[in-house]
Amino acid sequence: MTPAVLVLSGPVTRDEVTGLCDDVRALLETTAAGVVVVDVAAIGPPGLGAVDLLARLELAARRAGGRIRLREPAPSLHALLDLVGLRFEVEGQTEQREPALRVEEEVEPGEPAL
């Protein structure tokens, strides 16, 4: 199953967002993979507009029963997404899981905590 690809080029205006969300939903209907790869290599300098766009594309995909995967995000875009708390699967990377929580053992009264 090869996922469908949506290529974003240049800065995307606010007026284009709705159409791109429609494109993601339409691509999900044509692929059995349940994933649309969004190529962001040429999206331009990262900013809040790009973050908003990717969040909306992911929401549209989730509502349609799928998800998006990023292709070739610039390190600065990846860092900005992490900064705002958005995590996307990136093509070619292994799936990242949440870090394990540190568990402390219960100590007997009078013993120092570890």
Please check whether residue 114 lies inside any domain of the structure.
no
What is residue 72's three-state secondary structure? coil
What pLDDT does residue 72 have? 94
Please check whether residue 111 lies inside any domain of the structure.
no
What is residue 52's three-state secondary structure? helix
Tens digits of residue pLDDT in 82-96: 999 999 999 887 554
d(CA 30, CA 73): 24
Domains in the chain: how many in total?
1
Whether 110 has a pLDDT exceeding 70, the answer reads: no
Q: Average pLDDT of 64-93?
A: 93
Please check whether residue 86 lies inside any domain of the structure.
yes
Q: Full-prediction pTM beyond 0.85?
A: no
Whether 11 has a pLDDT exceeding 90, the answer reads: no
What pLDDT does residue 2 have? 85
**12: containing domain:** 4-90
